[in-house]
Chains A and B, each alone.
Chain A
Amino acid sequence: MTLARRIIPCLDTDGERVVKGVQFFNLRDAGDPAKLAARYNREGADELVVLDIAASRDHRPTFLETIRRVAAELAIPLTAGGGVANIDEGRAILRSGADKLTVNTAALRRPALLTELAAEFGSQAVVLAIDAKKVGEKWEAFVRGGRESSGRDAVDWATEGTQRGAGEILLTSMDRDGTRSGFDLPLTAVVAERVTVPLIASGGADSPADFLDVFEKGHADAALAASIFHDAVQELRELKGFLHSKGVPVRQQ
């Protein structure tokens, strides 16, 4: 009886369509979110994340509709986020069918937001998303979709965020995002060491061996990837079969 390591496909959207970039830029269209969600649900994804990377107020109703369309396809948990800055915006996302919401920029600007969201929806519904990029000897937490540094140390921020009420950390390595060069193991391991909540590692996944590494060496509880699943480079069942053969506890259908 062991908690399974989770494999989580991520749909980065412009609110309506799935897009994918390299190191957060050069976005291209990667499909319909509801269709991809249905496929991942069927193929054994443990959870799904859908993000509005444009996160503009004007497009918010479109994104909420996207959440509804995605949730309708799922018999697994759904996490959604992008630009959430207050309780009402969080509630709108959860009411649209998400089980958890992510917060990023707004929490860095006003950390009390995490406490407010946790008090309202429970810590289990509050995922702190951290976009980390190596600057000198350490990692800094970036905001506004990776456009500027907050100046905060990403590892310290992860620790503070969980103390303030986040129930899970979604840690993205900006250096590895979209590069297919493997997860950032040192970053993942140092955050896993410091926080007492589940950690989702993101950015750089390419091969099954990368997933094995991020669980065994990065000590992640879950691993998230986008392009390799969207492009069918990596089949979920095959990936889980590989992890199982290596002794990693995974849910197999």
Chain B
Amino acid sequence: MTMGAKISLIEYGAGNLPSVERALARQGVETERAGTPEAVAAARVLILPGVGHFGQLMRTLGSRGLLEPIREAIGGGVPLLGICLGLQALFTSSAEAPEDRGLDVLAGTVASLPVTAKLPHMGWNQLRHVRSSALLEGIPANAYFYFAHSYAALDAGDSAIAICEHGVPFVAALERQNLFAVQFHPEKSGDAGARVLANFVAYAGVGNRG
């Protein structure tokens, strides 16, 4: 890996993109925004940030011609980290927008959290680690992460690395070879979140000025 390679943040209007940029900048990691099929195809490392509505996200990615380049990048071994809605987008579909298809690199449908719990699931919650992983390496078992969502993947098979619970257990973090995703917001999760981003950066072999 080339020292100094940048992380490309997939740009489609996600509100948390600047926060992710700032969080990586604090670690001395350079980023650039990738908003075209060419930029995504050329990226060495990708982050798919996301807040908002599943259907809107999928339609925006589709209209910008980014769906296929993202799938090809994942298939081609490019490290990719999905954040929040960026995790949900990896699945086949979502109850939030049944008519829209997800990236479908992970099988399954994203479900609504049960209305028996306060929704959105908003605030700091803990994880149950289900297996060792690169992404959560060194994260204390009792660490808190910031969540803000009403939908979640309830199952990710062997890819799930950590589970959280709000009314039902759901996938808080997953990892499959070069594919990583978290339902929480590492960019808003203090020191624990910074460690998750650092782990992804380390896996991706991106140059770090420090």
Contact = CB atoms under 8 A, between A and B. Distances in A.
Interface stretch (B68-76, B102-110, B116-124): B116-124
Contacts of A4: 123-125, 144
B166 interface: yes
A167 B187 CA distance: 21
Contact of B15 (A99, A221, A222, A253): A99
Nearest to B52: A122
Nearest to A222: B123
Contact of B166 (A3, A74, A124, A167): A3
Contacts, number: 97
A124 B149 contact: yes
B194 A75 contact: yes
Contacts of B15: 94-95, 99, 121, 125
A97 B123 contact: no
A107 interface: no
A122 B53 contact: yes
Nearest to B145: A251
A124 B52 CA distance: 8
B193 interface: yes
For the side of the interface on B, what is the size category? 35 or more
B128 interface: yes
B195 to A, nearest CB: 11
Interface in B119-150: 119-128, 144, 146, 148-150
Contacts of B122: 124, 167-168, 197-198, 221
B38 interface: no
B120 A123 contact: yes
Nearest to B85: A122
A77 B126 CA distance: 17
| Main secondary structure on B side of the interface with A | mixed
A124 B51 contact: yes
A58 B102 CA distance: 43
Contacts of B164: 1
For the side of the interface on A, what is the size category? 20 to 34
B26 interface: yes
A6 B144 CA distance: 12
A72 B188 contact: no
Contacts of B146: 76-77
Contacts of A253: 190-191
Nearest to A5: B123
Contacts of B51: 99, 121-122, 124-125
Contacts of A221: 118, 122-123
A45 B194 CA distance: 16
B19 interface: yes
A222 B122 CA distance: 10
Contact of B190 (A76, A99, A122, A124): A76
B125 A75 contact: no
Interface in A120-165: 121-125
A167 B188 CA distance: 18
A76 B121 CA distance: 16
Contact of A46 (B16, B124, B127, B166): B124
A34 interface: no
A2 interface: yes
A71 interface: yes
Nearest to B115: A196
A119 B166 CA distance: 24
Contacts of B127: 1
B129 to A, nearest CB: 11
A204 B149 CA distance: 30
A42 to B, nearest CB: 10
Interface string B12-39: 0001101100110010000000000000
Given A72-B22, A198-B123, A99 B16 contact: yes
A106 B112 CA distance: 30
Contacts of B123: 3-4, 6, 46, 198, 221-222
A138 B185 CA distance: 39
Given A75-B193, A124-B148, 7 more contacts: A3-B124, A4-B124, A4-B125, A74-B188, A77-B188, A125-B15, A197-B119
7 shortest interchain CB distances as A-B pairs: A251-B144, A4-B124, A124-B148, A122-B52, A124-B120, A251-B124, A198-B122
